[in-house]
Amino acid sequence: MYDVLEPGADGWLRGGEPWEPTQPFYAVLGDPIAHSLSPTIQNAALREREIDTEYVPVRIDAGRLRSLKDGPLGRLLAGFNVTAPHKEAVAALCDGRTEQARDMGAVNTVKVEDGRWLGHNTDSGGVLTVVAQIWGAGTPPEQAVVLGAGGSARAAVDALLRWDIPRVEVHSRSAEGRARLAGWLESRELADRVDLRPLAEGPPAPTGSSIWICCLAGGVDASGWLPAAAGEAPAVLLDLRYGDQLPANQAPLGFRFSDGLPVLLMQGGLSFAWWFGPPVPWSAMSGALT
């Protein structure tokens, strides 16, 4: 467990005590943030590569992001990851973004150069790599279903479309979330490849090979929106949650299952590579999680 860093009245507070960085450091920004395992994997990677810096969790509200960029608090912040609910707000503050970050309309990785925030997004790449590994060789599944319509669902949809799945269904309880996702799809001319449906309609029955990606909020039971069992064809469930955020429910009968730890690892490794270049110490990062 790492002490959480927070902006105080006169500087940083670390674990509630005043703290002043003495060298450039890296961080993950979010609210809440204490549950994040990113410090665990990134600090393991830094030790393995013998890079003399540290990676800390930072709890910050949206109203302080601008002052973090322009004020003295961010003076030695060399780079950071971004988690909910700040990915779009940070994207708007970036001085430059990679093509992937522009496509996603969100940023989860930032490199700081001469005070300029350069934004990147490894969310979709992390999901795509993991779902392809879980699925294995051969053609992609015939059916893809995403539960939820928030930021992680956007990454899941992007990954599935890049995997050349012809059509994706998104089931969400939030009409506002579906509207936001629809606007993003239209801006990228992808709306004709995605069906947006209320979650209350219930799950579609698998009619062929299928992959399901759960992007619901932590603790929300997804079992009522999943089929009772797989059909004759292969079926995979990837739940992007992990640890205390993941409900203790069994995957449907006949489904292969993975929680979100492999995606966290992949996203973190891609972020590390963007900051420091290869090699990425995958074994050290994976070992830290276990």
- Where in the sequence numbering do the catalytic residues fall? 87
User: What is the full DSSP assignment across the chain?
Assistant: --PPEEE-SSSEEETTEEE--SS-EEEEEESS-TT--HHHHHHHHHHHHT-S--EEEEE--GGGHHHHHHSGGGTTEEEEEE-TT-HHHHHHH-SEE-HHHHHHT--SEEEEETTEEEEE--HHHHHHHHHHHHH-SSSPPSEEEEE--SHHHHHHHHHHHHTT-S-EEEEES-HHHHHHHHHHHHHTT-GGGEEEEEGGG-PPPP-SSEEEEE-PPTT---GGGS-SB--SS-EEEEE---GGGS---PPPBT-EEE-SHHHHHHHHHHHHHHHH-SPP-HHHHHHHH-
Angle at CA of residue 208, ends 205 and 212, nearest 5°: 65
Token digits for 4?
Answer: 């959480």
In Å, how far are 23, 157, 218, 262, 271 from 221, measured between CA atoms? 43, 21, 9, 21, 30
Contact call for residues 250 and 183 (beta carbons, < 8 A): no
250-259 burial: b if 16+ Cβ within 10 Å, else e? ebbeebeebb
